[in-house]
Chain A
Amino acid sequence: MSLLQPGELNLSYPRFALRLVRRAFLGGVRFYATMTVLTCVFLVGVNAWAHQLRSGMVVTHMTDHVSWGLYIANFTFSVGLAAGAVMMVIPAYLYEDEEMHDVVLVGELLAIAAIVACIGFIVVDMGRPDRMWHVIPGVGRFNWPISMLTWDVIVLNGYLILNLHIVGYLTYMKYLGVRPRRVFYLPFVFLSIGWAISIHSVTAFLYSGLGGRPFWNSALLAPRFIASAFITGPAFVIMLLYAIKRFAPHFRFTDEPMQLLASILRVTILVNLFMFGSEAFTLFYSGGSHAASGRYLFLGLDGRHGLVPWIWTAVGLNLASAVLIHSHPSRTNPRVLLAACACAFAGVWIEKGMGLIVPGFVPSTLHELVEYAPSLVEWRVSAGVWAFAAMVLIALLRMVLPVLSGELCEARPSLRSVPPASSRRESEVS
């Protein structure tokens, strides 16, 4: 902070944060309407979860045969989203692409919201969330370094703190009108690149380390996770940037970052399809009982085919996204690009969610065939977690974007004290 003269720093960081939080609660009718709807969905989820906690997880459709379901599927997917969102840091900082810097902050905000979703999905999947403190290192009994789950606890929470720091520091400096000092953020930015890879690798190791589950026990799982993270992250950020453009037009992002993200997608969608194909080839060409889960997933097994429509939908969506994003109109027509992103996002959600978790359990380790489809409670709880993460994302964007655009800075008094109502409304993100 040596750039600041004594007395120049008249707003401490907590007061800055508080001001942003208060800013996040102000908005127009559309903002309140959106937040009300999301709150309602969130509350429906809270209620379903409270019900699950009281009656037991028997209200889910999980069983001793399929002991993880929609929650862990969503968890796995949102880890990928969090990792992918930060991958944009690579072009921005490694290649010193200045245009990307603001977009990187959007990506990091997305990462924070996605980590919130991850933690949410883990909590709702726990049979005893009241014993959460058992996982706190030093307080409970932390089975580190043996249990991969403890690694996941470390990397996910570390990632959350890392991103909060980077976003917080850069936004604060912008707010003060001070040039950020590289030493305070650049090392963390590079750390976060490695860390992003680690969160999704460790999450893959959770599954691939289990010798008793041949469907997961593949060395390709972690690379596949990374590839699909490179899809969901950029795809979601492209959609998000368009949404910001549409609903908050005064935050100007150039098209360049978006095109860069689209070029990343053009590669990663194909890489993901290739790895998907390699995995399928190994499963089906060698055959045997190790392929049972794969057969169940793609073709059905002994008359059970609960996942067959899911996975072929995912394959269809992935192929569609590949075709769309490589078609020429994706470069000129935003609708085509958005459609490609939506397809890719949904395709990966199925493939790296239900399409990955459930077949690991079907057939069971004693080769019993018990199927799984989520119960209404599970859908409600999951919707609640997503709604909460969406609210976090919207609030974060509404805190950070006005600072980036220069609308909110230390020199200016807070919005509340700007007297004319007409000018005030204009300055709000609606």
Chain B
Amino acid sequence: MDKTKRRTLKVLGGTLGATAFAYALEPLTAWTKEQSLDEFLQRHYKELSKSELEAVLRRIEQKTRETYGVDVHVTDLHPQEGVEFGYALNLSVCIGCRKCAEACHKENNHDRATNNSYIRVLEMDQGTFDLEKGTTTYDHAVPAPGKYYLPVQCQQCDNAPCVKVCPVQATWKERDGIVVVDYNWCIGCRYCEAACPYHARRFNWQKPQVPAAELNPDQGYLSNRVRPQGVVEKCTFCLHRTRAGRLPACLEACPTGARVFGNLLDPDSEIRWVLANKRVFVLKEELGTRPRFFYFFDT
């Protein structure tokens, strides 16, 4: 092969390769259009100044308007002084109706198609506490005879495995005991999802789809705002509600009053009464995660 022929072939090959590469990356053009430089350069939540955070909140509102066609209000409520939240659930009263899971689904702007929720309810056989014998996929009238029901959501552990493993501190425990995620900082490695012993974390495998009419406009930066694709999310005890003195959506939806929520530091709170007077326990205590979510049997 002479030199010019060889060179021509090389140039041809190079051009072909470059074209093929550009073609292979073509799906990214649509993706890059959705990314903004501000979003890319945004610092960690804890490093944002007041005005920077304000700008971020407005940007999220605007983006939600553009994408979902709804005016929403994104707030950033801070933990209150002297408040540490705790949650207790009365297993004798719970009937497994999953109203809590449904309320969570709506309140937290979960993806509609996957029917996502931060709460999973296990139907358990009376006489066992072996999770292996429970099922989440029951589909019959409740409560079924011989069964009891165990709703599980984020236990807001004091020694949270998910917080430990995060390589970029995108998730942390707030002063009021709530474990939160900065959805704009999470890199989507899902190590926390592997670390959580309670299946409390969810990953946004795709962009959440919520019809405009169903979008909850009362949103928190660290809680129920519409999450970006490719990041991890979790139950935040509805901090956009609870930090404003309201109750979590799952509690309000419960028809049997099985759920008790309140301030652990307030000696007169109902949650403190439950802890003092009921035989409470936590899930997987042997793992040393120190949950803030308690269970008890009434009878």
Contact = CB atoms under 8 A, between A and B. Distances in A.
Contacts of A46: 21, 24-25
A141 interface: yes
A39 B190 CA distance: 30
A193 B24 CA distance: 39
B187 A141 contact: no
A127 B165 contact: no
B17 A56 contact: no
Nearest to A40: B20
A43 B20 contact: yes
B136 A366 contact: yes
Contacts of B167: 135, 142-143, 147, 149-150, 153
B177 to A, nearest CB: 19
B196 A212 contact: yes
A278 interface: no
Contact of B205 (A32, A56, A135, A360): A56
B68 to A, nearest CB: 17
B230 A57 contact: yes
A264 B35 CA distance: 51
A96 B40 CA distance: 52
A339 to B, nearest CB: 36
Contacts of A363: 132
Interface string B178-219: 000000011111110111111101111111000000000000
Interface string A341-365: 0000000000000000000110111
Contacts of A62: 205
Interface stretch (A47-55, A164-172, A173-181, A246-254): A47-55
A361 B191 CA distance: 12
A365 B198 contact: yes
Contacts, number: 174
Contact of A57 (B131, B136, B203): B203
Interface string A110-146: 0000000000001001111111101100001111001
Interface stretch (B26-34, B99-107, B238-246): B26-34
Contacts of A142: 167-168
Nearest to B39: A130
A2 to B, nearest CB: 42
Contacts of A141: 44, 168-170, 185
B161 interface: yes
A426 B170 CA distance: 57
Contacts of B17: 39
Contacts of A68: 190, 194
Q: Which of A43, A146, A147 counts the most chain B CB atoms within 10 A?
A: A147
Contacts of B193: 64, 67
Interface in B262-284: 284
A8 interface: no
A127 B189 contact: yes
A276 to B, nearest CB: 22
Interface residues of B, number: 61
B41 to A, nearest CB: 9
Nearest to B35: A130
B166 A213 contact: no
A11 interface: no
A47 B205 contact: no
Contact of A146 (B164, B206, B230): B164
A211 to B, nearest CB: 5
A43 B21 contact: yes
B82 interface: no
A65 B137 CA distance: 14
B231 interface: yes
Interface in B118-141: 120, 122, 130-132, 134, 136
B254 interface: no
A364 B199 contact: yes
Nearest to A53: B31
A30 interface: no
A54 B195 contact: no
Nearest to A143: B169
A153 B187 CA distance: 14
A256 interface: no
A20 B90 CA distance: 71
B229 interface: yes
A210 B24 contact: no
Contact of A126 (B44, B131, B166, B187): B187
Interface in A36-87: 36, 39-40, 43-44, 46-47, 50-51, 53-58, 60, 62-65, 67-68
A361 B193 CA distance: 10
A240 B171 CA distance: 44
Contacts of B197: 211-213, 365
Contacts of A366: 120, 122, 131, 134, 136, 152, 198-199
Nearest to A366: B199
A360 B189 contact: no
Contacts of A212: 161, 195-198, 284, 287
A53 B161 contact: no
Interface in B227-263: 228-232
B288 interface: yes
Nearest to B130: A289
A301 B186 CA distance: 34
A199 to B, nearest CB: 16
B32 to A, nearest CB: 9
Interface of B: 13, 17, 20-21, 23-28, 30-31, 35, 40, 44, 120, 122, 130-132, 134, 136, 152, 161, 164-170, 185-191, 193-199, 201-207, 228-232, 284, 287-289
Q: When A and B form their complex, which 10 residue pairs have the shortest distance between CB atoms, in order from nearest? A: A127-B188, A212-B197, A127-B230, A56-B206, A149-B167, A47-B24, A58-B205, A58-B206, A50-B27, A54-B31
Interface of A: 32, 36, 39-40, 43-44, 46-47, 50-51, 53-58, 60, 62-65, 67-68, 122, 125-132, 134-135, 140-143, 146-150, 153, 206, 209-213, 289, 292, 360-361, 363-368
9 contacts: A43-B21, A46-B24, A53-B27, A55-B206, A125-B189, A127-B189, A127-B204, A132-B187, A147-B165
